[in-house]
Amino acid sequence: MSLNSQAIYDAIQSDALKLGLFESVRSHEAINPPGNGLTVDIWTVSLGPSRSSGLAQASVILTLMVRVRCPLDQEPRDAIDPNLTDAVNTLIGQWSGDFSLGSNARAIDILGQESRGVAAAWGHVNAGGKLFRVADITVPIIVNDAWTESP
């Protein structure tokens, strides 16, 4: 296996799209404000060696940020966090069932075998003068034999 970041992005994007919960799913961080419903943006946070590397090949951990967001001015306001939480929970549950991303990774490190694991943190973002409620999901992905080590 080698690192194919496009295939990993495509698999993460596909997992989000197939749920039918999101107005849009982009494989980049949005510059302009997205629409009025739940949206997803995906981008890379880090890439580094995995502790489970071998003598001739190094495995890596590719960490993606998956941001789920919705406008903060939605009504009813009391439903914003429960709806966002349910969408994040469903998305992480989808990854539990597709943890190898269609054989493009050893695993999404959901439980923290070699990382802090999948985790979501809630906050707010201002985009284009509009406030959004966001959940940023850190998604560490372990890929075997991504780098060849030289003697």
Alpha-helix runs per DSSP H in 48-125: 80-97
Q: What is the pLDDT of residues 130-144, one digit of tens each?
A: 899 999 999 999 999
Cis peptide preceding 76, ω within 30 of 0:
yes
Amino acid present at 119: A
Whether this prediction's pTM lies above 0.85 is answered by: yes
Domains of the chain: 5-148 (3.30.70.1700)
Does 150 or 96 have the greater pLDDT score? 96
Task: Give me the phi and psi of 14, to 5 degrees please.
Answer: -60, -45
CA distance linking residue 16 with residue 95, whole number of Å: 9
CA distance linking residue 129 with residue 92, whole number of Å: 30
Task: Report the relative pairing of strands 57-71 and 107-108 from DSSP bridges.
Answer: unpaired
Average pLDDT, the chain: 91
Q: What is the pLDDT of residues 67-95, one digit of tens each?
A: 999 999 988 999 999 999 999 999 999 99
Residue 1 has pLDDT above 90, yes or no: no
Given pLDDT bands bounded at 50, 70 and 90, which one contains residue 63?
A: very high
Helices 5-17 and 80-97, packing angle to 10 deg:
130
CB atoms inside a 10 Å sphere around CB 118: 21
- Picking from 33, 34, 17, the residue whose alpha carbon sits closest to that of residue 25 is 17
